[in-house]
Amino acid sequence: MDSASTFVHLAGESVSVVLDVSGGVPVIEHWGGRLDSIDDWTSTALAIPHGGLDDAVSLSIVPHEGFVGRPGLAGHRRGGRHWSPRFRHVDHSLDRSDGAVTIEVRGRDDVAELELVTQVSLVDDVVSVAASLTNVGDGPYMLDALSVTVPVSDRASRLGTYSGRWGAEFRFEQFDWPIGAWSVENRTGRTSHEHPPYVWATSSNADEWSGHVWGLHLAWSGNHTVFAERLVDGRRYVQMGELFHPGEMCVYPGETYTTPTVIGVHSPSGFSPASQCFHREARRRRPPLRSARKVHLNTWEAVYFAHDLDRLKELADSAADLGVERFVLDDGWFGGRRHDGAGLGDWEVSHDVYPDGLTPLIDHVRSLGMDFGIWVEPEMVNPDSELFRSHPEWALTTEGYDAPLGRRQLVLDVARVDAFEHVLARLDTLLADNDIAYLKWDMNRWVVQGSGVDGKAGSHEQTRSVYRLIDELRHRHPGVEIESCASGGGRVDHGIIHLVERFWTSDNNDPVERSRIHHAASMLMPPDVLGTHVGPSPAHNTGRRSSMAFRVASTLFGHMGIEADVTKLDEREREILRHGVAVYKTYRDLVHSGRFFRVDRDPSGLCFGVESEDGREALVCWLQIESCVDPAPWRVPGLSGMERRLVRVVPLVPSSEERTAAGPARRQPAWWESVSRGDEFHVSGEVLRTIGLPAPVLAPQRAVVLHLSCS
């Protein structure tokens, strides 16, 4: 970069970002396909029609004075002064380290006495953008909003967003991008089921493997706002940032507020390649995996609150026989927690249920060759608990108002030093005194109408304190893995992923519903961090009955677990489940390290797969959810290379019965009958990508898994 140059080029393998750094806040001039050079680059500023300002107002990363769209910075000093700052360029620098290239631009407003530092990084074709505001004056600066704004190409004519609720997370919706603004605001105090901070901007023809796609995510686990606007002059942008309650954020003299990072991915070839960028970033951010993703048995849907040592030992025996590698004791082991209305906050083993502590159960589990894990919900407290009776002031409530309950519980204000230290000490003792390898960290209540000790809204500090709490616990117990759960998938984001090894995607273990949830979540997260469990039949959430083979198939492309009373299974179900666990173990290294892809959506079912990084091996799954009259050919566009592939059916049951998930057809395609007999079948990667294989007719709730290897 020439220090005198106005434009800076951040170039990745297939993505380029061009920035104009002449002003106090950089302007993204281009974010999209890779450019070989910007030697002849000129400004992309639009013509100015009559009726506007004489000078063009740039759509900067933090748009401010003169911009008639939504400003990126909103705030003021006492009396409403300095509400419209204007930053002049001070300096900028370029850094290349750790595989990333980063530009940092510093701007300053001497009148408002504010300094703004904007940082843009490109690593592995993933863009990261953040901004920091420093108060260099003598008085406080009330900050109402500081958001990151990213312009998007005019090729983007549609938006894609997520909605949902408990048990029905990650409902993906697409719609035309209208002239004007679309926005959502989240005030639940967590990433949320309802409006997680992800948005896609796409060309009109975008699908899994064609069309231009831009994906943006705010890496933050608290309140947020997502705003997308199409201006009348044709410009389009997405703005994302933390949402503050009134008066929640004040930047005092010498202090700095830094936005959560906005992560951006782009692909000219559809959603799946863009998702793979999100996956690479997630794997880069998460803690390094120390071992293969172990098969779980979670006790929740097996026993709920009915904890009994002999019963749990029997469950562990049965789990070990199936090949389970980790036994996770869920809610009900502590204090007076015999139901969901009491005991939260009392993180000591219940002597009523476990008179000799957890050691007898843990020793039994460890003797069977399994790790031991346990459920906690450290951010919450029940009014019916010893902790609340001793310290009611530790609840995150607002003085003078009755606190709203959620699931008969309140939020514990871990931003308080005393409450933070108390919870940390209890969890530290729990892990120090017991051989525990895994924490399922849950959060089951919104953070609403909660004020800190100073009377201000406490959502921001609560989120930051939760990060600090987990971080300190990991520092003290580096061998313990942690799962992020929030009533299922209410806290799935790149902001907390550096602290956890796994996300619990949903409390819904119905394989049909869970497969749809998992399919949409895979647009954002790789399979190795998404927990998927074989549940009971009928499913506890929906009452749907499903075969064991179908339930197993729905878990193979995530982090597999079991959440059912396996002591009640008949011998045939046990045989199929044991076989399914073995199949998962055979292919988990491939699934958890390869390139995950999806095949274009079909209302009758789902198709997805994963290919190894060297392109020599792939695993592909078809889940037939509903009847299909005219099944389309099975195309596998996610494969690379031209090599011939050996196609083999991965049996989901351990005998010939139902081995190929035969459907209601008198005659199936020849290739299908060949592989069903166990014969070798070869086909080129090019044919699989472009033409596909004639699809067999499958009955509803049947699954097929194919292993493809270069021959």
CA distance 26 to 106: 9
Residue 456: partners with Cβ closer than 8 Å, 6 or more residues away: 245, 247, 248
Residue 65, phi-psi category: left (phi > 0), alpha (psi -120 to 50), beta (remainder)? beta
The angle that helices 359-367 and 309-322 make with each other, rounded to 10 degrees, is 20
677, β-bridge pairs: none
DSSP state of 170: E
CA distance 461 to 546: 44
Helices and strands (H, E) in the chain, number of each type:
12, 35
The angle subtended at Cα 484 by Cα 276 and Cα 296, nearest 5°, is: 90
Residue 461: partners with Cβ closer than 8 Å, 6 or more residues away: 415, 452
| Four-CA torsion 565, 567, 568, 571, nearest 10 degrees | 130
- Residue reference for tokens 């506007």: 52
> What Rg do the C-alpha atoms of the chain give, in angstroms?
27
Helix (H, G, I), strand (E, B) or coil at 15: strand
What are the strands of the beta sheet with 7-11, ordered from one edge?
7-11, 15-20, 27-33
CA distance 285 to 526: 12
Instruction: Tell me if residue 507 is catalytic.
Output: yes
For residue 344, what are its two tokens?
A: 């939260």
Does residue 370 contact residue 327 with C-beta atoms inside 8 Å?
A: yes
CA distance 698 to 702: 7
The angle that helices 417-433 and 459-476 make with each other, rounded to 10 degrees, is 30
For residue 67, what are its two tokens?
A: 């911009």
Does residue 397 contact residue 403 with C-beta atoms inside 8 Å?
A: yes
Does residue 132 contact residue 241 with C-beta atoms inside 8 Å?
A: no
CA distance 613 to 349: 45
* Cis geometry, peptide bond prior to residue 538 (ω within 30 degrees of 0): yes
Residue 555, phi-psi category: left (phi > 0), alpha (psi -120 to 50), beta (remainder)? alpha
Strands 559-562 and 296-298: parallel
73, β-bridge pairs: 146
Catalytic residue, candidates 346, 384, 493, 507: 507
CA distance 199 to 177: 12
Please measure the distance between the N-terminal and C-terminal CA atoms of the chain and give it in whole angstroms: 47
CA distance 333 to 439: 13
Helix (H, G, I), strand (E, B) or coil at 50: coil
- Residue reference for tokens 């230290």: 421
Catalytic residue, candidates 125, 442, 493, 528: 442
Residue 628: partners with Cβ closer than 8 Å, 6 or more residues away: 602, 604, 605, 697, 698
The angle subtended at Cα 280 by Cα 377 and Cα 327, nearest 5°, is: 35
Active site residues: 442, 507
